[in-house]
Amino acid sequence: MTVIKVSSQSRTSAVAGAIAGVVREHRRAEVQAIGAGAVNQAIKAVAIARGYLQEDGLDVICIPEFTTVEIDGKERTALRLVVEPR
């Protein structure tokens, strides 16, 4: 499954649409963000996606977890949000 990567410059509505689409298709979406601004955009996108999915009769939850990713040869800590039906 593809991880939806969010930056501080990401449009929340676009990310929310991507989350909703992946959840509809795969029943689970993973969103990854590094940094406070990116995490802020990711959380807002999950909240918007939850509204989109409620219209389809899906009640989703968000499970946050830390993960380590490698960027330019350096390890960084990222926040991964797992979105799935309740």
Per-residue model confidence as pLDDT tens digits over 3-51: 999 999 999 999 999 999 999 999 999 999 999 999 999 999 999 999 9
Could you tell me the pTM of the whole model?
Answer: 0.91
* Extended strands (E) in 1-86: 3-6, 29-33, 60-71, 74-85
Domain boundaries, the chain: 3-85
Asked if the model's pLDDT at residue 54 lies above 90, the reply is yes
Best CATH choice for the domain 3-85 from the list 3.60.150.10, 3.40.630.30, 3.30.110.20, 3.40.50.261: 3.30.110.20
> Would you say 6 and 38 are in contact if contact means Cβ atoms under 8 Å apart?
yes
Residue 34 zone, left/alpha/beta (φ > 0; ψ -120 to 50; rest): beta
Asked if the model's pLDDT at residue 2 lies above 90, the reply is no
